[in-house]
Amino acid sequence: MNLVQTIMERRSVRKYKGEPVQVELMNSLLQQAASLWTSEMSSHWRCLYYDSMEARVRLAESMIAKVTGSQWGKLIPSKVTGLLTKTVLNTPALLVFIAEDAANERQRDENYAAVCSIMQNLQLLGWQHGLGMLWYTEPFMSNPSFFNEIGLKSGERLVGVLNIGYFDKSPKARKRTPAEQNWTELAATAKPTQAAKGQYVASKDVLEALNIAVWAPNDGMREPWHFIYVTDHEAVARLTPSPVNGSPSFLIVAAKKEADPHKQQEDYAAVCCLVQNFQLVAADKGWSARRSIPEWIYEHQLPISLPLDPQERIVAVLEIGTATQTPYSPATSPTFNIARL
Ligand SMILES: Cc1cc2nc3c(=O)[nH]c(=O)nc-3n(C[C@H](O)[C@H](O)[C@H](O)COP(=O)(O)O)c2cc1C
């Protein structure tokens, strides 16, 4: 199965066969998923693997503790809590992802974005191995009992849970909105030089790649992304005084802000998955698409005027060009730890 097909055909799977998922396979897929994260951005995280019945029972109980332990919990039919428990027990394996938190907002975003991107890589790699996954983050999980079960320490942040298993039937695809409808271009008024022209990735090609990337998972099908393609060279120069790889344009990807903090976090994660899809497609096409979270996105005044809604926030800035990207080689191999519980 090729990359484009995998990105577009991957579905969130909620019904699994009973077949166990080998921890060795998950370890190897996770290693690959981490190595596909080729950014200079930091990635400090850990994850826990729940696959034995005993561990899953414990996990399910901790997840619903907020519901069962509350005053109004007694009013909730046992059918509902039973259903939640059943969801976990009928899932052959669950991976809990935890990111390092940081006092600095940019660092915090980098750590979180890295884990989201690795989770998306894992969903794609799993799909190629016949494994279905579901990103699961219900608000009721945010409770001390669940945090205690996963050993969440201060300075750590829960990113999400992936439910994993083999499946019989792929769920039906839910249509995506064409990227063109969430797209703005800041184009040059003056014609680019012949040399710069040769390095541009044409808008139609970026849109074509984005129309593959939009098959990212996103909760509630909110499709919370907005794309701004900056090809105006004066604006590009202001965004970075010394572009790496001579990239002549920028793709800025923003998340539409939700008032509810839980939804806001889910939307940020969905945009990270989309950006990861885009980077994989770009690499496949031989483009450079260096991703960063520059300092300026947190500043009150941006270096250029961007058509952003006050409710939107920038998730990633991609420096795009046709020049082959200098491969980023980290000083150390990606750090991850899968702990089986
Ligand atoms: C951050 C995030 C959180 C999600 N949380 C849930 C969830 O709690 N329950 C659920 O059923 N699906 C969840 N999803 C999956 C979406 O519902 C799913 O991606 C969407 O319906 C599109 O379907 P597809 O992934 O098959 O293309 C989540 C997805 C993301 C990216």
Are 70 and 189 part of one and the same domain? no
Q: How far is the CA of 74 from the centre of ligand 1 (A)?
A: 29
Are 127 and 184 part of one and the same domain? no
Q: Supply the pLDDT for residue 75.
A: 62
Are 73 and 123 part of one and the same domain? yes
Indicate which CATH number applies to the domain containing 136.
3.40.109.10
Domain membership of residue 326 (yes or no) is no
The pocket around ligand 1, CB under 6 angstroms, is made up of: 11-12, 134-138, 160, 171, 174, 217-219, 221, 266, 269-270, 273
Are 8 and 155 part of one and the same domain? yes
Are 277 and 131 part of one and the same domain? no
Are 110 and 236 part of one and the same domain? no
Are 150 and 272 part of one and the same domain? no
Are 198 and 270 part of one and the same domain? yes
Are 149 and 226 part of one and the same domain? no
In whole angstroms, give the CA distance from residue 1 to residue 129: 10
Domain membership of residue 22 (yes or no) is yes
Q: Supply the pLDDT for residue 42.
A: 64
Query: What is the per-residue pLDDT across 279-305, written as a single tens digit (0 to 9) for each?
Result: 999 999 999 899 999 999 999 888 889
Residue bearing the bigger pLDDT, 86 or 334 = 86
Say if CB 317 and CB 250 are below 8 A apart. Answer: yes
Are 42 and 79 part of one and the same domain? yes
Q: How far is the CA of 72 from the centre of ligand 1 (A)?
A: 27
> Can you give the residue range of the structural domain that contains 285?
179-321
In whole angstroms, give the CA distance from residue 315 to residue 269: 9
The gap between the terminal CA atoms of the chain, to the nearest Å, is 33
Atom index in ligand 1 nearest the CA of residue 11 equals: 26
Domain count, the chain: 2
Q: How far is the CA of 243 from the centre of ligand 1 (A)?
A: 36
Q: Which residue carries 């701004």 as its tokens?
A: 228
Nearest CA to ligand 1 atom 22: 217
Are 143 and 267 part of one and the same domain? no
**Ligand 1 pocket, mutate which of 8, 115, 135 (most atoms under 8 A from CB):** 135
Nearest CA to ligand 1 atom 7: 136
Strand partners, 82: none
In whole angstroms, give the CA distance from residue 114 to residue 79: 37
Query: What is the per-residue pLDDT across 30-77, written as a single tens digit (0 to 9) for each?
Result: 999 998 886 666 668 999 999 999 999 999 999 988 777 666 666 666
